Each structure stands twice: as structure tokens, then as C-alpha cells.
Amino acid sequence: MILDIRLNGIKHSLIEVDKPLPLTEILKRTHIDRSQILSYKINHREYVNEDYIPDRETLIDCITYLHPEGYRIYQDSTIFIMCKALHTLMGTEPSLVVEHSIADGVFCEVFNSQTFTEEDCSRLIAEMQNIVENNLPIEKITVKTDEALDIFSALGRNDVIKNIKYHYQENVELYRCGKYYDCYNHPLTDRTGKIKNFDIVYHSPGFILRFPSKDENMEIPTFQLPYKLFARHQEHDKWLDILRVHNIIDINKLIDHYEISEFIQVEEALHEKKIAEIAADIVTQKEVKLILIAGPSSSGKTTFAKRLGVQLQACKAKPVVIGMDDYFLPRTKTPRKPNGEYDFETIYAMDLEYLNMQMNQLLDGEQIELPRYDFTRGIRRRSNTFVKLGSNSIIVMEGIHGLNEILTASIPANRKLKIYVSALNQLNIDNHNRISTTDCRLLRRIIRDHRYRGYSAEETLMRWQDVRDGEDKYIFPYQENADYMFNSSLTYEIGVIRKYAWKLLLGVSPSSSAYMEAKRLSSLIASCKDIADTLVPYNSIIREFTDGSIFRY
């Protein structure tokens, strides 16, 4: 029997065995450090622990912290350990909610208890370290629904009980560590000792659980809170408190009670109000003539830019939209990555000199001919489109490098404003299972790539890590440079996009290395009910990814 051993998806070795053996014995024949392995992926189809015994020719992928799926396993396992530690320290009275990502961690709050203090954070860290040092087993088990309800009733987890009852099934899969139980939609590692590094930073009204950097050193750098981004998260959270919507089941109940239409109108009205406020503030700054809009992939930047343009016109300004992508360097001058591929994500793939020259000409009152980039041939061509700014004109330019000062280094600060757009999701599955902003954007991108580029879900999933790496380098470090931040997330959107994403995710072959990621996303959207497209306004950001928008893309 031949076993194909891989490390983070890369071929490592072929092992021949004459009888079935557990993975612990098989890996002794390789040079792979088992202490670094968080989970094992079998034939791209399932995660197993080291006791698994393959009984036929099998592809065994050893997933470590350095793999994107491994990093997620590390994060979720750390959250599990934190939840267990808090339960040990404070029992069932407090309710811990893992709310949203921030910087290199997740923001959490403790409710139904006295004020959670900095001293409580220190106690929590110490107990987590104790759990890690004891290297306790984390077991995945399956129990009958009635037993699961009893377990979570004893733990005071009404959020989980509601989900179990609403999505009633005969059996429920749980994770157990000692006498502590929890539900997780994603796999966890099999022992607490594999979570080697973490930190907790107190930040009222809660704290931030921090994860190590995504490299072999696993260091935790000095903490820097992105204050502007955190404020937008907290602002949105307060609105959800008012609307009483925090978990997917709350959206489902609005659908069940025929109240989802009003909820959608309120959320969309909040979007329109925020865009109108930004536009109204911009026009009061008479010297400002250049608006730069940036944000990560599938944030809805294009629709935001168009809606901002409408609101600017309502304020008697005349927006002049200029495409940043038309200022790429000729392909012959495009920088390359270490592997020889073109690096289209770097800011130095832009013709910075030409862009700055044309922007200055416009600001000086001159007429220019806008460029048009031919992506097929990799050259800039004439457009025969000429523009000149009037007294009320404002340039609106959208692209990934808008917040980087290098892009418009020659433009005086008083003549430009920067806007950061991102889908800062606040919706959870339950108190300990958040739906990440990244997952919301990925679902949007899967749909858009299929509609406008003809990509399959598998192709988008395979490219996604490169997109994320580019964001980490070229977008997120500059987000605090923004003069305004706009949260493009819509709490109800999963109910709208699930029917589009579902069909595409089903098309990912079980033999694909992207299969488990497709399966994970399918599980996420399966917990939400469908929301009809007819309930979505035609200028909604969601229409950029589905169908029927009044805007042209």
C-alpha cells in the first residue's frame, strides 16, 4: 500500500507499508516534525487526527500553522482554549462573545458578569497557559441531540441551544476537552499543547485575543490598535444591538416572521445615510479635488464610488471618475515576484510618474487625455477621452493603492482625501463562532468571478491566498491613513448570496485541494435561509455581486 505524504500541500515522500498503521507510526518514517502538525487532511476530503489508520492507497496532507487552513485551525483552537479557561475561572454565569477580527486578533466581550478587568485578563492568560502546558486532548465526538441540549444547558449556552433546536438533527458533533464542550464549524487540533503562542490585550469594554505572525517564528509583535477601524466595528455593533441581530438565527427569525423586508430597508438606509454624510463633508472642504478610494477585494468599492458620486452630485459637485488601473506600467516594465511571475499587486506596477503628472495637470486647470490600459497586450493606449476640471469638479479614483501616500506623493495633502471601504461583518453563528469578514468577501468574489470572468469556484478558491497576501502587503498596513471609513457589510447579505454561492461551491470536485474549503463555506451558508433578490434595492452593494444593479460595471 503506497501512501502519498505531503506537507502543507507540497509533495514530501512516498511511504510503502504492508499493513495498515496509524499516522503516528507512518510519520516516523519521514522527517516531518509531528509536534508542528495541527491536523491531517485525507484525500482532500476530511480532517483526521494522528490515530487515523489508512487502509488503502491514500494522500495524507500534514497541515501545519504555515498553511492557510492550518492558521485557521490554530486560531479556532486558541479560541476554544480561551473559552475553556474562562469557564474554569468563572463558571457558567458570564457569557463570552467572540465578536470580530481586529489587527492580528479577535475582539471579545464578557457579559452577564461584573466588569471584566485587566486583572481578569491576566488570570485568563495564566489559565490558558496552564491548559496548553498540560497538553490536554481535544476530542471530536458525536452525541444525540437530547444529550447535546443537556450539555449546553449545563454550560449556560443558550446561543447554541437555539441553533440546535432550530436546525434539528438526530446527532450533533461537539468538541470536548476534559469536562468542557463546545460546537465549532471548523476543525480544531487534537491537543492543547500545539497552541504554542498567543496573547491577550485588555481594551475596554473587552479584550483582544492575539495570534502570532504567519511565519515560522510565530512571534507576537508589539500591539498597535487600528483605532479608526475599531471605531467602525463598535459603531456597527451598537446598531445591531438596537436591531437585536447578532447571530444568523436572528436573521432566520426575521425571515420566518416576514420582518426581513423592513430590516433590509433599515440597513440600506444606514448605508445611504453614511455615504451622504461623507459626501456632504467632502464638499465643505473647498480645496479638496481628489478622492482616493481603497479597500480589500470584494468590498464593494466600485458601487460605493458610484453611490458617492450620486451623493456628490446631490451636493452640487461634479465627480470625474478616473480608473486607477489605467495607469499600470507597460508589461515590459512590470516588476516580477521571486518566482518570476508578474507582480501586478505591488504599487510599483503602477506608472507613478505619469499618474502624478496627469493629476497635477488637472489640478492646475489643464485638460488631459485619460489613458486606457490594454490588459490583453499589456500596453497603455490612447482613449480619445479628454477631461478638464470645472469649479465644482472632484476627481474620484478607486483602486487598491489609494491609501498609500506613495501613489500621489506629489499631490498636497490639503487637496486630497482618502476613503477606506471594507465589509466589516459583525454577524456570528453563535457566541463563539464568528463569520469572518474574509469569508464574506470570499463568497462575494466567488459569485462575481463566475459572473464576470467565467471562473469556477475552485479557481477562485485556489487564487484566494495570493489575493490575501497582496492585501496584507498593500492594503491593510495603510488603512489607518484613511480620512473616512465605510463599512460595506450588510448583515442580511448571506441570505441573498447563498443561492448563488451554493451552486458554485457544489461544483468543486472532491479530488480538488480546494474541496475542504468549499465544504467549509457551504456549511457556513447552509445555516441561513434564502432571501429573495426582489427585497434588495437596485443600488445595493450586494447587487455588484449578484444581478440587477442600476449601475454599470
pLDDT tens, N- to C-terminus, the chain (553 residues): 899 999 999 999 999 988 899 999 999 989 898 889 999 999 999 999 989 999 889 999 999 999 999 999 999 999 999 999 999 999 988 899 999 999 999 999 999 877 889 999 999 999 999 999 999 999 999 999 999 999 999 999 999 999 999 988 899 999 999 999 999 988 999 999 999 999 999 998 899 999 999 888 899 999 999 999 999 999 988 888 888 899 999 999 999 999 999 999 999 999 999 999 999 999 999 999 999 999 999 999 999 999 999 999 999 999 999 989 999 999 999 999 888 989 988 999 999 999 999 999 999 999 999 999 998 899 989 899 999 999 999 999 999 899 999 999 999 999 999 999 999 988 999 999 999 999 999 999 999 999 988 999 999 999 999 899 999 999 999 999 999 999 999 999 999 999 999 999 999 999 999 999 999 999 999 999 999 999 999 999 999 999 899 998 8
The whole-angstrom separation of Cα 184 and Cα 207 is: 21
Q: How far apart are the C-alpha atoms of 229 and 423, rounded to whole Å? A: 11
How many residues comprise the chain? 553
Q: Cell digits for 458?
A: 475552485
Residue 486 amino acid letter: F
Distances in Å between the Cα of 421 and the Cα atoms of 322, 493, 495 are 18, 17, 22
Class of domain 2-64: alpha beta
pTM for this predicted structure: 0.93
CATH 3.10.20.30 residue ranges in the chain?
2-64
The 10s digit of each residue's pLDDT in 298-350 is 999 999 999 999 999 999 999 999 989 999 999 999 999 888 989 988 999 99
Give the residue range(s) of CATH 3.40.50.300 domains in the chain.
Answer: 227-544
CATH 3.10.129.10 assigned to 69-210: no
- What gap in Å lies between CA 442 and CA 440, rounded to an integer? 5
SS3 108: strand
Domain(s) labelled CATH 3.30.980.10 in the chain stretch across 69-210
For the domain with range 227-544, which CATH number is right: 3.40.960.10, 3.40.50.300, 3.50.50.60, 3.30.70.260? 3.40.50.300
Give, in order, the Cα–Cα distances in Å from 395 to each of 220, 248, 254, 282: 41, 40, 41, 12
Distances (CA, A) of 382 to 328, 360, 372, 385: 14, 19, 6, 8
The DSSP letter of residue 242 is: H
